Amino acid sequence: MKGIMDHSGWFFNAGLRDAQKKKLVSAVPQSSTSILRKTLQRLNYEGRRPVVMATVSPMDVHGYFSLSISAIYERDLIDQGALVLLEVNPNFPRTFGDTQVHISEVGALVESDRPIPTAKLAPYTAVDQKIGEYVASLVEDGSTIQLGIGNIPNAVAKELRNKRHLGIHTEMFTETMVDLIECGAVDNSQKGLLNGYSVCSFTMGSQRLYDYVNNNPSVLFKSCTFTNDPYTIGKNNKFVSVNASLEIDLTGQCASETVGNLQWSGTGGQSETVQGSQMSPGGKSIIAMHSTYTTKDESGKEVLHSKIVPFLARGAAVTTSRNDTDYVVTEYGIAWLRGLNIRQRVDALIRIAHPDFRDWLREEAEKNMIW
């Protein structure tokens, strides 16, 4: 489609990272609750109409389809007059919330019975487990939680099974959340906003997960412009957000979406959940990450690098401002940056860095006057 269609990436995966190297895609700097509004303003200026292509569960007796596993922006776009093209598939679960689309709103549809895409839980290591234990120690009973997908969030969820009266308000609803509901850790009774409901914008996982959300009115799929809005998040009690970062500097700046100048993922809801959690009564924002990563040198030997650095890599995008960074967790402990000055942040972050890099970080902080 080169030369015919432009591809703008809102969130990169492995395929888009490869496509970027071939100049086939370009990233759109954005935050999850503002990107839709800004894109629609651009389309309106250019005189273009948005198109929604979505997979839905079959129509009910009242003429409504369900947007099934994704309500991220679809309903917002439909409300703004988008052309609606639907794939109707009985293998997709029927869900509730901002997922209802009436037949009168549909431009065209096609029927399909392809299998629904599934994903397996990411296995986690002893390092992930240690990080999970530290994160779980910060989560009080009665907290409202936001977790993502991956090794560390899965480890965190495992460590939360002994908590009580937790609530769920998250962008992605995962299989580990089903585990927390079924073991009694989550009952959504003390959230303060939409009590009794697990709130999310989309889901992806195993068939067990899809069977759980199918026709389940206790899981409420809401537009991302609602779930990730900091003011919405702030209405929940003891909101705890758990996000990851690729690199963090000694002042607390988090580069969570780029490796140097190369796009790796996207801002997603990180900046907004970080802010919203700290607007919540008793809320906490947590950046959870391994202290190190490895690369291979020219001879094929593995080289260890610190993810806590004096300065972010050249060209790195700052996803979470140092003004907003709250808790940072590695396998070596917890650094609480809220209200600390630069010198105190340097000390706190060095304490949770890998021991092999602590002297180097102190030397760099002194040499570069990071105090």
CB 73, CB 36: distance < 8 Å? yes
Residue of 171, 175, 272, 331 marked catalytic: 171
Task: Give me the sign of the Cα torsion angle 77, 78, 81, 84.
Answer: positive
Q: Report d(CA 305, CA 340) in Å as an integer.
A: 26
Q: Which residue type, as a one-letter code, is found at position 100?
A: Q
Pairing relationship of beta strands 327-330 and 333-336 according to DSSP bridges: antiparallel
In angstroms, what is the C-alpha Rg of the chain? Answer: 22
Residues in the chain: 371
Q: Are 173 and 198 in contact (CB under 8 A)?
A: yes
- In degrees and rounded to multiples of 5, residue 352 shows phi and psi of -105, 10
CA distance 111 to 92: 12
How far is the first Cα of the chain from the last one, in angstroms, to the nearest whole number? 51
Which pair of tokens denotes residue 87?
Answer: 């794939």
Q: CA 26, CA 147: separation in Å to the nearest integer? A: 27
Q: Which of 227, 185, 182, 221 is nearest to 203 (CA)?
A: 221
SS3 321: coil
Assigned token pair, 196: 């009794």
Is 298 marked active-site?
no
Distances 305 to 14, 19, 127, 299 between C-alpha atoms, Å? 22, 27, 16, 17
Q: Which residues are catalytic?
A: 171
